[in-house]
Amino acid sequence: MNPLLNPLFFGRVLKWYLEDPTKLHRMDNEGLKRFQNHSFKAMLTYAFTVPVYNEKYTAAGIHPRDIRGLEDIKKLPCITKEDLRRNFPTNVVPSSFQTKKAIVAATSGTTGRSLSLYTELSTVIRSMLGFRRALLEHHIPWQKTRMSLLLDLSENSFENEYFIHSILSTAKRIIPTNHFQILDILHSPIDLIQQINHFEPEVILGYPFVLIQLATLKNRGYGEKVAPKWIGTSGAVIDTYSRRFIEEAFHTHLFDIYAATESGIIAFECEEGRYHVCSDLVFLEYLQNGDDAPAGIPGLLTITRLYGKGTPLIRYRGIDDVVTVSQNDCSCGLVGDVLEEIHGRKSESIVLPDGRIALISVFEHCIGESLYEIKVNKIKRIQIVQNRIDAIEVRILFDDYLRDAGCSADETLSMLYHKLQERLGPQIEIQLKEVERFDDKAPYILSTIDRTHMLEKSYLV
C-alpha cells in the first residue's frame, strides 16, 4: 500500500509540509534553542540503541544522563565515516530496525570508498521538504513550476534512492508530477541541453559542473529556448566566477543549496545570497584541532542531525567540509546560523611549507577568475599533485573545441600560474602541465604528504 494512504503517516507528512517551510521565520533564538535541545536529546536516546554509538559512548564512559543538552555535546566522541563503514550493515541501526524495508543510499566515494547508510521514507520526506523550503524562499511554487532536475541516477545514489525511488514513486500516484523533467547527468551535455530546450523549464536544478557545461553550450548557440527564471545548484562548491558565468549565460539568478548524502539538506541561500543553516534539522559545530573555530575563521564541519530514523548522525565528521560561520546576522529574518562560505573538503587540500592547508576553494577561485577574465570556460578539469611539501604540479585538461578561444592555451596557463603563485606564495614551486585525458575516478587532489601528526595551523581559502 502507498504509505501516503495511511492516515497516520499522511498526517505527519502534512504537518511537516505545512509547518517546516516557515519554521525558521516563526522562531526566535530562544525558541530555536529549546527546539534543538528537545530534538537532540531524542536523537541521542535513539543513538544509544545503535551498537556503533553505544560501544563508542560506553568506551568513553558516557551515559545518557551525563548529557543535559547541546551544552554538553562535546562530551560525546565524534563519529567518523570509517566508524560507520566498518559497522555497516548490522551495527549502524537498532536491532529492532527493519533493514529489509529500509532505504539504502550511498555516498559517491569521490574521496575514497563509498559509504552506505540506512534510512526510511519519513526521514527522506523530511529532508526533501527542506529543499522545498529553499524553493519557497525564492518564491518558486514547486507544485506547478516546470523544473528540469539534473540528477546523478547511478545505482544507490542519493538522488536515485531518495528522490526517484522514494519520493517520486510515492507522490506520483497522488499528485501530478509531469511538470518535472528528470535528466541523468551521465548523459552528454549536448543531449542534456537539447532535452531541456524541448521542455522549456522555468527552473533548472543541478550540479555546478554540469551547469557550467550547459552555460558553455548556451554561449555557443545551443538551447535557444533554454531561458530559466531561476537556476539552483547543489552537490559541489561553486565559486564566484563560475556562478557569474552561469548567470550571464542564461541571464538569470542562481541560488545554491548545501546538502550531503548522509545528512540531507544543511543550508541554502536566501534572496540576500547568504547561506542559512536549517538549524531545526541539523546542529553544526565548526572545529579547529577539536576546539570551536571563532566566527569568521574556517573550521571543520561536525554535524548532528536532529530528526529521522535509520542510521543516526551525532557529531559526524565524515562530510569533511571546511566552512566559515558568519559573525553577522542576515536581514532576511531567518533564525539560526549563517555560513559565510563553504570552502570544500579538507581531504581535497594541499599542505604548504608554513603549515597552512590550502583548500580546493583556492584553486577554484583562481581558475574561475582566470576563465571569467578571458570570457571562455575552456578548462574542463584539473588535478593537483603534491609529492613534496614545497612543490605542486597542476595538471590541466582543456576543452578541445575551446582550447585557443579568447587567448591561447599558453596565455591561459601563464595567467593561472601567476594567480596561483600570488595566492599560495613564493615558498611553493608550481608547475602547470597540460594533459590529454583524466581517468574518470582520478581524485581532484593527489597528495603523498603524511599529515598524521600535523596540527591544523590555519586554512587558506
pLDDT by 10-residue block (mean), the chain, 461 residues: 70 83 91 96 96 96 91 96 94 93 76 80 86 92 90 73 63 69 92 97 94 91 96 89 90 95 93 95 93 92 96 95 93 93 89 89 88 84 91 92 87 94 94 86 83 77 81
Q: Is residue 175 part of a domain?
A: no
Phi-psi group of 333: left, alpha or beta (phi > 0 → left; psi -120 to 50 → alpha; rest → beta): left
Q: What is the pLDDT of residue 311?
A: 96
Q: What pLDDT shows up at residue 423?
A: 93
Asked if 133 and 278 count as a contact pair (C-beta separation under 8 A), the reply is yes
- The pLDDT of residue 241: 79
β-bridge partners, 181: 148
Put simply, whether the predicted model's pTM sits higher than 0.75 gets the answer: yes
Which pLDDT value is given to residue 172?
59
Asked, for residue 397, whether it belongs to a domain, the answer is yes
What pLDDT is stored for residue 368 in this prediction? 86
How many Cβ atoms sit within 10 Å of the Cβ of residue 370?
A: 21
- Which pLDDT does position 4 carry in this prediction? 66
H helical segments located in 300-458: 360-374, 409-424
- E strand spans, 261-325: 264-269, 275-277, 282-288, 291-292, 299-305, 321-325
Q: CB–CB of 75/56 below 8 Å? A: no
Q: β-strand 116-119 against 103-106: which pairing, if any?
A: antiparallel
The answer to whether residue 222 sits within a structural domain is no
For 166, which DSSP code? I
Q: Domain total for the chain? A: 1
pLDDT of 171 reads 60
Q: Which residues contact 243 (CB under 8 A, 6 or more apart)?
A: 233, 254, 256
Is the N-terminal amide bond of 208 cis, ω within 30° of 0? Answer: no
Report pLDDT for 1.
53
Q: Which helix (H) or strand (E) holds 210?
A: helix 208-219
Name beta bridge partners: 183.
Answer: 150
Full domain range(s) for residue 413: 350-460
Distances (CA, A) of 151 to 54, 132, 178, 205: 36, 16, 17, 8
Structure confidence at residue 62 (pLDDT)? 93
Give a yes or no: residue 385 inside a domain.
yes
Task: Name residues whose C-beta falls within 8 Å of residue 324's C-beta, 6 or more positions apart in sequence.
Answer: 286, 293, 296, 297, 298, 299, 339, 340, 341, 343, 461
80 is a domain residue: no
> 105 has which bridge partners?
117
Residue 103 inside a domain? The answer is no
Torsion of CA 307, 312, 316, 321, to 10 degrees: -60
- Structure-block grid coordinates of residue 284: 553544526
Which domain CATH number covers 412? 3.30.300
Calpha distance 325→267 (Å, rounded): 12
In a domain, 431, yes or no: yes
Cell of 49: 540503541
Per 3-state DSSP, what percentage of the chain is helix, strand, and coil (rounded to 5)? 35, 25, 40
Alpha-carbon Rg for the chain in angstroms: 22
User: How far, in Å, CA of 442 to CA of 434, rounded?
Assistant: 15
Cell numbers 588535478: residue: 383
Any domain includes 296 = no
